[in-house]
Structure 1
Amino acid sequence: MKLTYAEIRDWTEEETRKRLTSSETEVAQIMKVAAQAGVTEAQALYGQILLDGKGVVQDQTEALRWFSEAAKAGHAMAMNMVGRCCEHGWGTQVNKSLAAQWYEAAAKRDLDWGMYNLATLYCLGEGVTMNREEAFRLFSQAAELGHAKSVNMLGGFYEDGWVVEQDMAMAASLYYKAAQRGDFRGEFNHARMLIDAGQIDEAAVWLRKLHASATSAFLQKVAGWLSQRQDPALLQLAGELG
């Protein structure tokens, strides 16, 4: 029998928890029914399910449609995801200027990911005029909300002397904070600082954490970087990560 939203609403908390931890296919069906019933959170979640292809056939166009529905209702993460679709051409043409507008809308609703994504565009000058001062401000706002990737980006500003005076101690501190919060680029940058300080064994601990968090492409880049080092322990790590 076809699942209805009335049935979903009648579930007990225990039944709901059980259903939402079942198969990806069942979770996708539940979210679809709730999304079709106009539940904003479900619309945003179903959009992500369609984008990822979890429990359903991947459909970027439909994902964007559901993100857009939730965004119209003021859902900040859905706004951010419409921006992502526009930036990367998921279900639509690439339009980085429009992506920036959606990220800004999400950022104004205090969404850390909206701040981070908009700041990244300002850093690159894509869809907006390059503005590192504005990027720094947005990364700082997101970092205050606990956004690990933004903390790592601030480390880069202090390391390279963008907008602020170069401060390697501050950069190292920020990279460590990002690493502690699980950002894989933060883990690498923290390890890089440790290597420069001669703390190879401690750096190796952080580099091995990358297996659990980093993308395969990033692991390959790290392996290539390590292979250029002279220390035998780092050369061994290059082999492990590559």
Structure 2
Amino acid sequence: MSAASFGSTRAQILLGQLFLDGNGMPRSRVEARRWFEKAAASNSAEGINMVGRCHEFGWGGPPDLAKAADCYRRAAMRDYDWAQFNLASLLHDGRGVAQDRVAARSWFARAARRGHAKAANMLGHYREEGWLCPRRPRAAFRWYTRAARAGDFRGQFNLARCLFATGQRELALVWLDRSIENAIHDFWIDIVPVLSAHPDPAIRRRGDLAGRLAMTGSGRSAGASEAGSP
């Protein structure tokens, strides 16, 4: 607290995250936002990005996607990878800004070049789904592999899908296990119907596991756990 009070932007962001998560102190999104705004006022790219998250999710005030996009763009222009990913996500979906998947892919690529695992996973989707270019399954596989190895649970799940589709069942199960272990609560809920309906009994058992994990409520929430800050 003292370091944050004396102007350490990193300490301010960490304190804001503690308030956001309710980790070691009462959860308060108003207090979280106040500390993120202090860091942003000192021109911290990470702080500006987190103020963007506050605007996007309505932490400590009403949601405002246009303001979120503006914050992300400011931080992204300073090569902050989380802001590049967050801006790309808004551009991809057309939330708060006009949909522009060409620009979205460019920002995802910039973030991925800086080692951002979630951006790499999204580039895998661009290749697999044929967004903006013909489908390129091999390129998708490479991006999913990169995301999975960097620890992104969605990338791990997508890599498992690709491996299973090419007959590499045992390796696919390894990556599926890692995905379930690392996932958040909302993702467990999303994958239960997919896994539980699969013809392979080993995958159905993993669907049961994801369902049990979701029922316990032990998973992290999507907003706080993927807040765009390491």
Q: Answer yes or no: same fold by TM over 0.5.
A: yes
Counterparts of residues 56-205 of structure 1 (less than 5 Å): 56-205=25-174
Partner of 2:19: 50
> 1:92-146 CA deviation, whole Å, 9 max, x = no partner?
1000000000001110111000000000000110000000000000000000000
The answer to whether the Cα contact below 8 Å between 1:210 and 1:219 also exists between their aligned partners in 2 is no
Q: Any stretches of 5+ residues in structure 2 without a counterpart?
A: 212-230
TM-score when scaled to structure 2? 0.88
1:226 and 1:130 map into 2 onto residues whose CA distance is: 32
1:216 and 1:38 map into 2 onto residues whose CA distance is: 35
2:15 and 2:209 map into 1 onto residues whose CA distance is: 37
CA-based RMSD: 1.2
State the 1:162 CA deviation: 0.9
Identity across the alignment (%): 43
Shifted more, 152-161 versus 214-223: the winner is: 214-223
The answer to whether the Cα contact below 8 Å between 2:15 and 2:35 also exists between their aligned partners in 1 is yes
**Residue type of the partner of 1:191?**
A
2:209 and 2:79 map into 1 onto residues whose CA distance is: 40
2:2 and 2:138 map into 1 onto residues whose CA distance is: 52
Tell whether 2:209 aligns with 1:240.
yes
Change (3 A) 1:39 1:193: same
**Residue type of the partner of 2:135?**
Q
Partner of 2:224: none
**Residue type of the partner of 1:68?**
E
TM-score when scaled to structure 1? 0.84
State the 1:55 CA deviation: 1.5
The answer to whether the Cα contact below 8 Å between 2:9 and 2:47 also exists between their aligned partners in 1 is no
**Residue type of the partner of 1:38?**
G
State the 1:223 CA deviation: 2.5
**Residue type of the partner of 1:178?**
A
Shifted more, 108-117 versus 56-65: the winner is: 56-65
- Aligned length in residues: 211
Tell whether 2:191 aligns with 1:222.
yes
Partner of 1:7: none
Among 162, 181, 199, the residue aligned to 1:212: 181
Greater than 6 Å deviation, 4+ residue runs: none
2:168 and 2:42 map into 1 onto residues whose CA distance is: 51
The answer to whether the Cα contact below 8 Å between 1:204 and 1:237 also exists between their aligned partners in 2 is no
2:58 and 2:64 map into 1 onto residues whose CA distance is: 7
State the 1:185 CA deviation: 0.2
State the 1:168 CA deviation: 0.7
